[in-house]
Amino acid sequence: VIEACALTEDFKILNAADETEIGEKGINLSGGQKQRISLARALYNDADIYLLDDPLSSVDAHVGKHIFNQVLGSKSLLKDKTRILVTHGIHWLPFVDEIIVMRDGKICETGTYEKLLYNDGDFAQFLRESFKQSSGKSSVQ
């Protein structure tokens, strides 16, 4: 769990490793460290269902890819668990089993990344707009 959540190096620099006191009387952590520790704590609970609210938003791209592959992906620690991932990271979407698209608080589309692109509905439109904003032109055909 420690390695999967990319905490090995952090524990090497903390005085008492995973026993280090955090917070008011202890040390302060970065947003990414807090997020990775929260994820590790969730993994230790060994639940059947994991609801993860943008768990990779405060980590850099390299660490995010590592955590996704080790914790969330199809060959990860949670591969046999139900994982519900809420994310703004659209680059993760091709790697999830199913996408649920919501509009005005209601489900409007469900399916794989490829299926939703093929259907050319709200999801495909959202991706076109996102890519247009980030690159200045539409990258999704």
CATH code of the domain in which 80 resides: 3.40.50.300
pLDDT tens string 40-80: 999 999 999 999 999 999 999 999 999 999 999 999 999 99
Domain limits at 121?
98-141
Same domain, 80 and 106: no
Residue 19 has pLDDT above 80, yes or no: no
> E strands within 34-103?
49-53, 82-86, 99-103
Q: Is 32 inside any structural domain?
A: yes
- In this predicted structure, what is the pLDDT of residue 33? 87
**Beta-strand pair 106-111/49-53:** unpaired
User: How distant, in Å, are the alpha carbons of 56, 57, 58, 59, 69 from that of 62?
Assistant: 11, 12, 12, 8, 11
Whose tokens are 């807090």? That residue is 34
Same domain, 51 and 3: yes
CA distance 102 to 53: 15
Task: Please say whether the beta carbons of 69 and 61 come within 8 A.
Answer: no
Q: Is 61 inside any structural domain?
A: yes
Give the three-state DSSP class for 102: strand
Q: Is 93 inside any structural domain?
A: no
Same domain, 136 and 81: no
pTM for the whole structure: 0.81
Same domain, 52 and 118: no
Same domain, 118 and 49: no
Joined tokens for residue 124: 């495909």
Q: Is 92 inside any structural domain?
A: no
Q: Is 124 inside any structural domain?
A: yes
- In this predicted structure, what is the pLDDT of residue 45? 95
Give the three-state DSSP class for 110: strand
What is the number of structural domains in the chain? 2
Q: Is 43 inside any structural domain?
A: yes
Q: Is 102 inside any structural domain?
A: yes
CA distance 44 to 82: 15
Same domain, 72 and 116: no
Q: Is 59 inside any structural domain?
A: yes
